[in-house]
Amino acid sequence: MPASKSTSALLIRWFEENQRDLPWRKTTPWGVLVSEFMLQQTPVNRVLPVWNEWMHRWPTPADLAAAPKPEVIKAWGRLGYPRRALRLHESAKIVATIHNNQVPRSREELIALPGVGDYTAAAIAAFAFGEPTLVLDINIRRFFARYFDGEQFPTAAPSQVERKLRFELIPDKQGDIWAAATMEFGALICTSKSPLCGECPLKNQCQWRALEYPEGVPIKKQAKFTGSDRQCRGTVMGYLRENEKATLAKLAPLWPEQSQLEKALKTLIADGLIETTGKSYRLAG
């Protein structure tokens, strides 16, 4: 059954009064699609300047589709996981050619785009087209787990049972902004480490509060970044964004472990992010 009228009304009223002024909330469906690619595992404050730059340079799918691959990789900057930039570039080409430069609305057409899975398709449908779809990011799942189940943290991944139960919460009225409201609430009020329970407009109905805040097991965090393969790859990409090409000898002083550096180069080539002439490396394309 849908969330109670009092719960949904209070939550949506809170959202209308407290939502952040994020530019992708008042943009085109293309702007929403770009934001969803960028926001995957990346905080809002890092995405904001890059999203603004991209939308200025490439305001439509056709604009991005026409951009050279190295330019796209450079523009991604230090957002991390640069394969997302390639998938977004590929998606832009499909939208520009097959969909007449318009982001498609149907789930089937959305998930057919490179880099778009169930979550991203649902988010685009909700935020670009106002569809009452089920969006389950970590902020929403944490809020639901506390408020409805009395558990501090959700499980590592949503089960089919959880998906069914959460879908049934979508209210009959204003279901089009339910995803945005619950996501914002989890990001600003029902936060992971220091939830603002005293300021919560829903605290009197919260099961976690009623059970006196039992402690749970947090979702395992991503592996340490310092010294990781991800950091090594990022170091290589950072150098090649600033320099046209580089030999292994030029790159070697940037990283202390030669074997890890060579592995990074191989995986970056395999991912289509860089290429080699055999003597030097450069951004792909």
User: Which helix (H) or strand (E) element contains residue 283?
Assistant: strand 281-283
In the structure encoding, which two tokens stand for residue 130, read together?
A: 């106002």
- In sign, the C-alpha dihedral spanning 72, 73, 77, 81 is positive
Instruction: Report, in angstroms and rounded to the nearest whole number, the Rg of the chain calculated over CA atoms.
Output: 21
Out of 16, 17, 36, 71, the active site residue is 36
Give the phi and the psi of residue 267 in degrees, each rounded to 5: -70, -35
Of 185, 173, 200, the closest CA to residue 9 belongs to 173
Q: Let me know: does 225 contact 38? Beta carbons within 8 Å.
A: no
- Return the number of other C-beta atoms located less than 10 Å from residue 194's C-beta: 6
Q: Is 16 a catalytic residue?
A: no
Of 210, 130, 152, 188, the closest CA to residue 11 belongs to 188
Q: Let me know: does 100 contact 144? Beta carbons within 8 Å.
A: no
The burial class, CB within 10 Å (0-12 / 13-18 / 19+), for 258 is: exposed
Q: Rounded CA gap, 88 and 35, in Å? A: 10
What's the DSSP call for residue 275?
E
Which residues have a catalytic role annotated?
36
